[in-house]
Structures are given as C-alpha cells and as structure tokens.
A and B are shown apart, each in its own frame.
Chain A
Amino acid sequence: MATTPRSEARAGLKLISPTAIYVILLLALPLATVLIYSVMTGGRGNVSLPLTFDNYAELWSKPVYGYILLKSLLVALTVTFITVVLAYPVAYFVSFHVKPDRKSLWLFLITIPFWTSYIIRVSLWFVILGYDGLLDKTLMSLGIMDSQLNFSSYGIPAIIFVLAHAYAPFAVLPIFVSLEKVDRSLLEAGQDLGESRWVTFLRVTLPLSMPGVIAAALIVFIPTVGDYVTPKLVGDGREPMIANFIETALLKLRNYPQGSAFAVVSMLMVGIVSVVFVLLNRRFIGGSK
C-alpha cells in the first residue's frame, strides 16, 4: 500500500485545503490588500490610483511616526529584557532543583496566570496603580506618601511594568525546555575538571540554554510590541504604541493608505527584529559546536 509521491502529494494537499483556503482568504488576501493600499493615493475612507510612494515618504518626513515606532520598539525590548532576566532563574530552579515528578505542577502554577483573562489582569493593575487607586490609598494610609503617587500616569515606566507582568509566564517555558536538554554529565565534567559551580554555569549551562532564551525573547517581544490594551489603559492613554496608532490612522482619521503604510512599516520592524533574534540564535548554536 505504499503510496506514490504524486498520490501522496495529492492526498496531502486535499487534506490541508480547507485550512489553507481559509487562511489564504482571511489572512493572506487582507495582508496583500494592506500592502497594495499602502502605495495608493487616498483620503478619508477611500483609496484611488495612481500608485505612489508618498505615504512612505510622509512616514519618513514626519517625526511623530518615527517616534511611535521607536518608542514601541524600546518599550518592547525593555519588557523583553526584564521578563527574560526574571524568568531565567525561575526556569533554572524548576529544571535543576525540582524533583522530576513535580515539574509539571510547577509549570502549571506558572502558566495559570497567563491563561486567566488578560483584560482583567491589565484592568486590575489600573485599579491598583491608577489615581487614588489601591497603591495610593495604601501608601497614604501608612503615612509613606502625603499625596497620590498615581504611578499609572507615569506613562512609559507604568506601561513597561504592566506589560512585563502580563507577558512574564511566556518567557519561563522556552527557557525551561532548553535547560532540560542540557546534558547533566557535562556539568559534572566541568566541576570534576576543577571549575567552580558559577564558572560551569557561565561556560556550559548558559551558552547551551541560549536558544531557549532567544525563543523566550521572541515570544515576549512580538505581542508586547503590538499591545493595544495596556498603552490605552495605563499611562492615561497619553503614550500610544503601534497598535493604538494604527487604530487612529485607520479608524479615526480613516486614512487607509497612510495607516496601511504605517502597518507595513511596523510589520517590517517586527520582522527585522525577529530575524535578528533568529540570527543570534544561529550564532549560539554554531558557536557551541
């Protein structure tokens, strides 16, 4: 019953066709439309010919676009750095210091907050950090502060804090998986050869777990750079990020070509950063020989 390659190919294509057609119609086609819109001329709610690169030229010439892209990039990279640095010791603890039969339970405990309503978690931070919120009331009743701290109005730092909380569990799992793959006999060998535990960690464990660290960075970076709710709720909405700006351009100003061009540039930026992460990963895999 060995199938010939051609009939296998036909069977495979037939089987995948419902899913493939769905994503082509609802994902590929819309993305292509955005790409085409971005080189068209247009005003409020309509697009027309001729094709032009003016939309991209305007993105380049007006500093506000660059500012929002750069701000989103820096916020997302900071959040990524914080979450990965905080997650590493946790993943290390679960991988190296928890009994094998208890590991699933620990991972489950860490992932639960991620699966509980994102909207509620972010809104709770708003209740806690907002003006006259729980934090302000507690600080004032304890006599630590005389007036409201109103941390939520601090804009970017508050956004970074809330995002770092929201995406924290994302980072633990990939690092944990790569730590699990580290051959324990290598560590013993290192210590037998007279390296201290710390040096063994730096020279063996850390480089070997780098693919997991980079995967974690990527998993945190992509949703944070495009986050919509947190910048809208925290920081009084005064620090819009990419997603908020796309909303303004496409839905409020209804400037489809300009909004599309901005969306395309944002996608490019996310893509370039992701490729850099992946290349870094290659280097580590190559470097470990």
Chain B
Amino acid sequence: MKAPWLRGFTFLYLLFLYSPILLLPIFAFNASKVVSFPLSGFTTDWFVEMWNDQNLRIAAKNSLIIALSVATLSTILGIFAARASVRYRFPGKAPIMGLIMLPLVLPEMIVAMSLLVVLLSIGVNLSLLTVIMGQVLICTPFAVAILTSAFQSLDRSLEEAAMDLGETQWSTFRLIILPLVMPGILASFLICFTISFDEFIIANFLGSGQPILSVYIFGQFRFPAKVPSMLALGTVLVCFSIILLGFAEYMRRRGIAKAGGKDTGGFL
C-alpha cells in the first residue's frame, strides 16, 4: 500500500531535521566571511584557520580527556549496575536503580547546580575532574540501559554450564560473559563518549572557564568573524559522530546477532 502523503511528510520532516546540519558543509567551504546566499566560491581557508587555532586545540584536547574518562567510568559503573540488576534480586533494588536512572528525568541544570553548590561549599577547586564527575552521572543511565539489554539477552545456562565444568565465578565472567556482552560494552562506551563530548551545561558550570570544546564553540559563535571556522569545525564533528554512531550501531547489531536475539531497533 502506497501512502504518498505520509511519505512526503516524512521527507519534509527529515529535511527539517537536517536543514541546519546541511548548511555546515555548504558554508564551511564558502569563500566569504558572511553566511549568505549566493555562494561566493570554494575555499578550504576556514579549515586551515580552524587547524591553526591554538585555543581550539587546547579545548579539543580537554574534551577528549573528559570524554574518554567519562565513557570509561560510566561504562564500568554501568556494567556493575546492569549486571547486578539483571542477575540478582536484592533488597533496595528498585530505589537504588531509580537513583542511578534519576538523571534521565531530572533537568540537567539541577544535577549540575546541586553538585556545584556542594563542591563550592566543601571548597573543591573546579577542574576537568569535576566536569568528569558530573558527566558520569548523566552518562551512566544510558550505559545502564544499553548494558541491561546486553546482559538480558545472555543465556543463563551458558554461565551455569561453565560453572559446572569447574570455572570460578570470576573466570566464567571473564571467559563467557564478557566476550558475549563486549559489543554492548563498546556501544555503551561510544554513546557515553558522544554524549560527554557534546555536553554543555556541566562542562560550562563545573569547568570554571576551562576551555572545553562545547563551551568554546558556544562562545565563538557570538563573533561573526569566527563563524566560518566554527562551521568548518562543525563539519568535522558531524562527520566524526556519524562514523562513531555507525560503528556503535554495527556493534550493537553484531551483539544481538551473536546472542541470537532479534533486532528491535534504535539506541533508546
């Protein structure tokens, strides 16, 4: 059955979703400081300007440090929580899991501000470390969600078979469970990395003016002269996240196929 209206609407919707992103490459290669049609010619100057921007390099380096740390920590904390909630029944499970998942339903500003108030009142200096501490709170629920479905698709009898054959609990985990949930772990790592890399509120308020990429971008867009090189940066970042997400999606599907499950689609 054809549905021309629905199809047309969906295409318009996708166009609406993508429209600002499509402008990125168009104006990143446009030989004019001013963002306007008609285009004035092809240039790679803005990419050169972006490459030579020393502050941008520091910000990018800081963001990488933060995102790698956050992705690692959140995934590790996520493994503990997801494994415990899938495998065991224990008292206080519902409130503990609720607290872990709470940042999903709490405005991020409130998470950031309550942490900031406490850090300031006990005299902790704001640094990249405090940004990492805050962002791990935001990313862990995503890690738990992804890893829970990875652990759920595990066949319990595999684990029991390994234990019957004389493996210890730890060696079973390392030899049987870990390889099977590895795609889930990688997907969780990549998604936490992406969320942290894009995150603004915590980076801004818990970073005390340290150059961090999202904060730096936000500041630069206010200066019209800086906009073209920011568009160049945006083009590079969009390409990176598409590659990363394509990879994450690939790993996720491979994981489901490995565990013999059926694809139910989507990251969320």
8 Å CB contacts to A: which residues of B1-45? Answer: 1-3, 6-7, 9-10, 13-14, 16-18, 20-21, 23-24, 34-37
Q: Mark B101-122, 1 if CB is under 8 A from A, else 0.
A: 0111111111101111110010
Q: Does A183 contact B (CB under 8 A)?
A: no
Residues of A within 8 A of B85 (CB): 16
Q: Could you tell me the distance between the alpha carbons of A173 and B264 in the complex, rounded to whole angstroms?
A: 11
Chain A interface mostly: helix
Q: Say yes or no: A18-B115 contact (C-beta < 8 A), given A123-B221, A137-B37.
A: no
Docked-complex contact B109 and A242, CB < 8 angstroms: yes
The answer to whether B103 touches A27, judged by C-beta atoms less than 8 angstroms apart, is yes
Q: Please tell me if the beta carbons of A243 and B109 are within 8 angstroms of each other in the complex.
A: yes
> Given known contacts A86-B13, A111-B266, is B238 in contact with A116 (CB within 8 Å)?
yes
B238 touches A117 (CB 8 A): yes
Is A12's CB under 8 angstroms from B265's CB?
A: no
Q: Which residues of A contact B6 (CB under 8 A)?
A: 89, 92-93, 97
**In the complex the two chains form, is B237's CB within 8 Å of A141's CB?**
no
- CB of A193 closer than 8 Å to a CB of B: no
Q: How far is A266 from B110 in the complex, measured between Cα atoms in Å? A: 9
CA distance A225 to B109 in the complex (A): 10
Q: Which residue of A lies closest to B221 (CB)?
A: A123
Residues on the B chain within 8 Å of A218, using CB: 105
A92–B105 alpha-carbon span in the complex (Å)? 26
Q: How many A-B pairs with Cβ below 8 Å?
A: 265
**Which of B14, B89, B113 is close to A250, meaning CB atoms less than 8 Å apart?**
B113
A residues in contact with B251, CB < 8 Å = none
- A58 interface contact, C-beta 8 A: no
Of the listed stretches A49-57, A125-133, A143-151, A203-211, name the one at the interface; the rest are far from the partner chain: A125-133
On whether the beta carbons of B108 and A23 are closer than 8 Å, the reply is no
Interface pair A15/B83, CB less than 8 Å apart = yes
- How far does the alpha carbon of A103 sit from the alpha carbon of B133 in the complex, in Å? 37
Chain A contacts for B13, CB-based, 8 A = 86-87, 89-90, 168
Q: How far is the CB of A44 from chain B (nearest CB, A)?
A: 13
B170 within 8 A of A: no
Q: Cβ of B84 and Cβ of A97 under 8 Å apart?
A: no
The reply to whether B24 and A22 form a contact with Cβ atoms under 8 Å apart is: no
Q: Contacting chain A: which of B46-54, B64-72, B179-187, B194-202?
A: B194-202
Q: Are A116 and B237 in contact (CB under 8 A)?
A: yes
How far, in angstroms, from A9 to B87 measured CA to CA in the complex? 10
The reply to whether A246 and B110 contact each other, CB–CB distance below 8 Å, is: yes
In the assembled complex, the Cα of A137 lies from the Cα of B113 at a distance in Å of 39
Complex Cα gap A223–B138 (Å):
12
Q: Number of A residues contacting the other chain (C-beta, 8 Å)?
A: 92
A198 within 8 A of B: no
A243-B107 contact in complex given A18-B77, A115-B194, C-beta closer than 8 Å: yes
A280: Cβ under 8 A from any B Cβ: no
Q: Looking at the complex, which one of A28, A223, A259 makes contact with B99 (CB distance below 8 Å)?
A: A28
**What's the least CB distance linking A65 to chain B, in Å?**
16
With A22-B136, A138-B37, A229-B200 in contact, is A90–B113 under 8 Å at CB? Answer: no
Q: Are A119 and B96 in contact (CB under 8 A)?
A: no
Name the interface residues of B140-158: CB closer than 8 Å to any CB of A.
140
Sample of 18 A–B contacts (CB below 8 Å):
A8-B88, A15-B80, A20-B96, A22-B137, A86-B13, A93-B3, A93-B6, A93-B9, A104-B265, A104-B266, A108-B245, A120-B230, A124-B21, A125-B20, A165-B17, A243-B107, A267-B107, A270-B106
Question: Hey, which bits of chain A sit against chain B, CB under 8 A?
Answer: 1, 5, 8-13, 15-20, 22-24, 26-31, 33-34, 37, 86-87, 89-90, 92-94, 96-97, 103-104, 107-113, 115-121, 123-128, 133-134, 137-138, 141, 165, 168-169, 173-174, 176-177, 218-219, 222-223, 225-226, 228-229, 233, 242-243, 246-247, 250-251, 256, 259-260, 263, 266-267, 270, 274
| Beyond known contacts A93-B3, A134-B23, A134-B35: 19 more, CB 8 A cutoff | A20-B81, A23-B99, A37-B117, A89-B9, A97-B1, A104-B249, A104-B263, A111-B266, A115-B245, A117-B198, A117-B217, A118-B200, A138-B36, A177-B266, A223-B107, A228-B108, A243-B201, A260-B117, A274-B105
